[in-house]
Amino acid sequence: PKLIKINQLCRIGAFSVVRCYTKDGIVLGKNFSLGAYSSLSNGFNVFSSPGSLVIGDDVGIGEYAYICAVAPVTIGSDTIVGQYLSVHPQNHHFQDKSSLIRHQGTSELGVNIGANCWIGSKVTFLDGSSVGAGSVVAAGAVVTKAFPENVIIAGNPAKVLRER
C-alpha cells in the first residue's frame, strides 16, 4: 500500500503536487508549509527504486520546490527553505564509453537535511549529500557531499565558509 501521511496544519500551495509511487511513503510533519508550484514525490513511477520522503515538524519550503525521492530524503524539523529548492537523490553511472549512459544504471544514496537549518533560495542537493543540524546553506549553493552540524556553506560545489 502507498502511504502519504499528512499531519495537522499542513499547507500545500496552489498548483503544487504531492505524489506517492512506492510503498515506503511520504510523511509531512505537523505545521508543514509548501509553496505554490512545487512537486514532491517518492519516485518516478511504480517501477522506480523504493524511495521515502520524510519531512519533520514546523518545516517551511518556498515556491517552485522539486523533490523526487527515489532514495530516502529527510528534512529535519524547524528547517526553513527558500524558493526553488531542488533535491536529486540519484546519480547516473557513465564510466563505460561503449555503453549508453541511460543503460549503465544509477546509484541512490539519498539526501539528508538536518533539523533547524536555513536553506537559501535556489539550492540544489545532489545524491549522497547532507547537511548537519543547525547549518546554513547560502543561496545558489550546490551541495554534493556531507557537511557537519552548525556550519555555513556556499558555492558550487558547496564548501564550508565558517562555523556558526
- With 0-12 / 13-18 / 19 or more C-beta atoms within 10 angstroms meaning exposed / middle / buried, residue 163 is exposed
| Residue 123, all three cell numbers | 539550492
For residue 67, the surrounding DSSP H or E stretch is strand 66-68
Active site residue 92: yes
60 contacts 41 by C-beta, under 8 angstroms: no
Cα distances from 68 to residues 10, 51, 54, 92, 113, in angstroms, run 19, 9, 12, 15, 15
Query: Sign (positive/negative) of CA torsion 30, 24, 22, 73?
Result: positive
Catalytic site residue from 88, 92, 93, 103:
92
Cβ atoms 1, 22 nearer than 8 A: no
Task: For residue 101, report the phi and psi dihedrals to the nearest 5 degrees.
Answer: -55, -40
88 residue type, one letter: H
Active-site residue list? 92
